[in-house]
Amino acid sequence: MLEYALLAGLVFGLYFSLVGLGLNLVFGVMRIVNLAHGDFLMLGAFGAFWLFNLIHLNPIATVFLALILFTALGVPLYYLLVPRLLRAKDPEMLSIILFFGLSQVIEALATIVFGPSERSIPGRVLGSGPVQVLGQSFPAAWLASGVASALAVLGVYLYLYRTRLGYLTRAVMVNREEALATGIDVHRVSAIAFGVGLALAAIAGVFAPFMLGSVTPAMGVDLNIQSFVVIVIGSLGNPLGTVLGGIVYGVSLMFMQTYFSSWANLLPYVLLILILLVRPSGLLGRQVRRA
């Protein structure tokens, strides 16, 4: 029981790191809250579902397709929404409302196009039968999703720490004004980070049918909360801290589901409130409290 909860928690933790990663990247670079994050994840999930059903495309291939498509979608979307938003008096607050509006638009369009019913992809697509790890057996799809998430996180690490663009992106994260003053094209760097953030959400979405069960157009709201828990536990504005948050969240979720299953749904909410109240500056690394 204990080993199972721990190992499953680790796998889910890696997956939840990926779920939160895009949100944290966008927040870190632009200091705005993308409340439509969960809805981009949903779009990724539906993309994987339809491509699998129509042309039997393996979800792994969909990952690469999602990376390209959503980055390409994110860049114009950034120029459409964000520069105007950042000129407002309180961009962080207004971003919640703006992206809430966007999430409603996406959810409505997805309902119109896909219908409100639940969709799922059979788990055997990502490998057959249960796999034995340290004497515990897990569905192969879980392990495949966990490995893919780890690879995606590694990809973000390489992007941020091993490329010139990543170097500029980190400069914008540290201080937007100073980055601008040193001649960095802040909008271009931010637009790409925004696109990558959306693409990460969509990639997490591709694995959602295997990790989270069936998908519906309305799944976004709940995922937003979970993503928030993950990135708040880790470190808000620091994308790689998300991995820590994801693993803490995944392991505690599995423990709750194993030992107090009927109360497990309460965990993300309580965890989020407690962390915001108890360790707001320590864990987040920036002032979030007033007075």
Q: How far is the CB of 167 from other proteins (least distance, A)?
A: 28
Q: How far is the CB of 143 from other proteins (least distance, A)?
A: 30
C-beta closer to other proteins: residue 103 or 149: 103
Backbone angles phi, psi at 178, to 5 degrees: -70, -35
Cα 254 from Cα 256, distance rounded (Å): 5
Q: How far is the CB of 173 from other proteins (least distance, A)?
A: 17
> How buried is 80 (Cβ within 10 angstroms: 0-12 exposed, 13-18 middle, 19+ buried)?
exposed
Contact predicate 220/208, CB 8 Å: no
C-beta closer to other proteins: residue 1 or 277: 277
By the criterion CB under 8 A, which residues form the site for other proteins? 33, 81, 84-85, 88, 90, 92-98, 100-109, 111-112, 221, 225, 228, 262-263, 265-266, 268-270, 272-273, 276-277, 280, 288-291
Contacts 24+ apart (CB under 8 A), 132-140: 133/7, 134/3, 134/7, 135/3, 136/3, 136/4, 136/7, 136/8, 138/7, 138/8, 138/11, 139/210
The per-residue DSSP string of 192-232 comes to HHHHHHHHHHHHHHHHHHHHT-SB-GGGHHHHHHHHHHHHH
C-beta closer to other proteins: residue 16 or 52: 16
Q: How far is the CB of 288 from other proteins (least distance, A)?
A: 5
C-beta closer to other proteins: residue 39 or 156: 39
C-beta closer to other proteins: residue 19 or 168: 19
Q: How far is the CB of 236 from other proteins (least distance, A)?
A: 9
C-beta closer to other proteins: residue 10 or 94: 94
Nearest to 134 by CA among 3, 25, 28, 268: 3
Q: How far is the CB of 235 from other proteins (least distance, A)?
A: 14
